[in-house]
Amino acid sequence: MEKPFNVVILGSGRGSNAEAVLAAQRAGRLGQARVAGILCDQPGARMLELGPRFGVPAVYLDPAPFKTKLEGAAEQRYIAQIRAWQADLVVLAGFMRVLKTAFLEAFAGRIINLHPSLLPAFPGLDAIGQALAARVAVTGCTVHEVTAQVDAGRILRQTQVLIAPGDTVESLAAKVHAAEHELLPAVIAELSQRGRK
C-alpha cells in the first residue's frame, strides 16, 4: 500500500485553520494528504482538543526556555516528533515562534506557512491591523514556503479579501479567516498531488 502524504500541523492557539484542514480531510478534499499529527507549544490551547475529535495525535511539546523562537533542546524535541510522524509537509498555522536553522534544514523545502495578508505586504505581527491602518482596499491571505527570513519565502497561493469602509479589526479578521480556511486545505491538497508525481 502506498504511503500517505503525511502532514504535521504546528500551532499555538485555537486551531481554526488546523480544524479546517481536518474537516477537509474528513470530507475527502485533502487530496493524497492526511494529517499525521498536531503539535502545539501552549499546554492549554484549544487546538489540542482537535485530536480526540478527529482521531489524530495532538501533542503539547514544551518549547522552553525561549518565548518567541524554537531553538536548542526544544527544537530537537519538535524535529524528533515530526520525524516520528514521517512528515512529508510541515504546516505552520498560527505557530507563533521563529524557526531557526536546524529546523529549517531538517525539513528543507517542506515547510509552509499561512499568513493573513497578501505578502509581501504587511509581513510580521498584526497583519490585519496593519492593512486597516494603511487604508488599503484589498488584503487577504497567503500560503508561502518558510525560509530563515520571516514571511519572505516563495508564495504558493493567495486569496484576496475586500476591505469594506466600515470594517473593524474583528470584522476584517473574520473575513480573512474564512478565506484562510478555504485556501490552506486547497494548497495542501495540491502539494500532496505534486508529492506523488
The pLDDT, as a whole number, for residue 169 is: 96
Catalytic positions, please? Answer: 115
Residue extents of the structural domains in the chain: 5-194
pLDDT of 38 over the 50 cut = yes
What CATH code would you report for 5-194?
3.40.50.170
How many Cβ atoms sit within 10 Å of the Cβ of residue 150? Answer: 14
Q: What angle do CA 71, 157, 193 make, to 5 degrees?
A: 85
175-to-5, 18, 128, 169, 192 alpha-carbon distances in Å: 30, 17, 10, 10, 27
pLDDT tens-digit map of 85-144: 999 999 999 998 989 999 999 999 999 999 999 999 999 999 999 999 999 999 999 999
Task: Please give the grid coordinates belonging to residue 130.
Answer: 496593519
Rounded alpha-carbon distances, angstroms, from residue 135 to 89, 129, 158, 163, 165: 35, 10, 20, 9, 9
pLDDT at 1: 52
Share of the chain above pLDDT 90, in %: 89
Q: With H, G, I as helix, E, B as strand and everything else as coil, classify residue 137.
A: coil
Contact between residue 195 and residue 88 where contact means Cβ atoms under 8 Å apart: yes
Quote the CA–CA distance of 87 and 85 in Å, as a whole number: 6
In this predicted structure, the answer to whether residue 4 has a pLDDT above a threshold of 90 is no
